[in-house]
């Protein structure tokens, strides 16, 4: 788990780095030429500290953006709603389960990022720019493997049209064979995960909805108008979930969806 948090923390600048920023960094004025050596070093360390604090503050959001956490959290929330339980299992339990499931799925990706990027950086075999590229590559491959082409095309078209409006140029066809930029890949991956999470949630809710309908029809036909159907359907749904070994089936299906 420690590797996951460290790797995700170092991956944050990838979402912020664009070709324009990289170009600006290459052509930027060296402020150290106008400052004493000690002042330049002090300013550099201050900016590094500020960057580290920024990375730590947005690390939880990064966990949601580039991993499988979104799909797991949505599916588990649908499960609790389908069962009709308001606070059982507690949010802490569901979020913890989603986190450890995320680590289980992302472990090969994290290990690859650690081996190819983080470990060489700590051993001074790579500089910061090269380490960021090596750390981000496994996460990029993971997102590309599980994102829908339709969602990537959506953000590529939006990005292209935005640039054309600013430049006033004529439309051009997208270049094929180039990997999508992080500004395109990350939001496309997120909406793909949201869609799949809702699809899985729908499949989870349908059996419980059928139990609610059956119980409601039976109670009405027996003339039990004053008995709330939820009084009978809730234990029936819990019993049904236990009999089918629901946690095993659900968690196994969610993890295998990334196979």
Higher-pLDDT residue of 202, 157? 202
Residue pLDDT, tens place only, 18-54: 444 343 334 433 434 434 444 445 555 676 677 667 7
Give the pLDDT of residue 179. 74
Per-residue pLDDT at 139 exceeds 90: no
Residue pLDDT, tens place only, 186-198: 889 999 999 999 9
Give the pLDDT of residue 42. 56
What token pair was written down for 115? 């081996």
- pTM attached to this predicted model: 0.71
Residue 203 · residue 75 · CB < 8 Å: no
Give the pLDDT of residue 33. 43
Q: How confident is the model at residue 167 (pLDDT cuts 50, 70, 90)?
A: low
Give the pLDDT of residue 66. 84
CA dist 138 and 106 (Å) reads 10
């Amino acid at each position: 788990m420690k590797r996951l948090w460290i790797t995700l923390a170092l991956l944050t600048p990838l979402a912020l780095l664009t070709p324009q920023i990289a170009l600006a960094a290459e052509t930027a004025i060296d402020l150290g030429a106008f400052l004493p050596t000690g002042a330049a070093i002090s300013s550099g360390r201050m900016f590094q500290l500020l960057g580290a604090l920024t990375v730590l503050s947005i690390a939880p959001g990064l966990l949601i953006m580039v991993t499988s956490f979104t799909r797991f959290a949505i599916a588990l929330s649908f499960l609790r709603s389908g069962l009709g339980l308001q606070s059982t299992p507690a949010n802490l339990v569901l979020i913890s389960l989603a986190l450890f499931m995320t680590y289980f799925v992302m472990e090969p990706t994290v290990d690859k990022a650690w081996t190819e990027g983080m470990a060489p950086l700590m051993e001074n075999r790579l500089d910061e720019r090269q380490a960021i590229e090596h750390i981000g590559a496994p996460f990029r491959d993971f997102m590309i493997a599980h994102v829908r082409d339709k969602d990537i095309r959506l953000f590529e078209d939006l990005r292209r049209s935005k640039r054309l409006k600013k430049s006033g140029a004529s439309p051009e066809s997208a270049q094929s064979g180039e990997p999508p930029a992080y500004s395109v890949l990350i939001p496309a991956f997120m909406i793909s995960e949201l869609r799949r999470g809702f699809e899985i949630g729908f499949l989870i809710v349908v059996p419980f909805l059928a139990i609610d309908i059956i119980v409601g029809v039976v109670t009405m036909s027996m003339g039990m108008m004053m008995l709330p159907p939820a009084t009978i359907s809730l234990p029936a749904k819990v019993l049904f979930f236990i009999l089918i070994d629901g946690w095993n089936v659900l968690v196994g299906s969610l993890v295998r969806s990334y196979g």
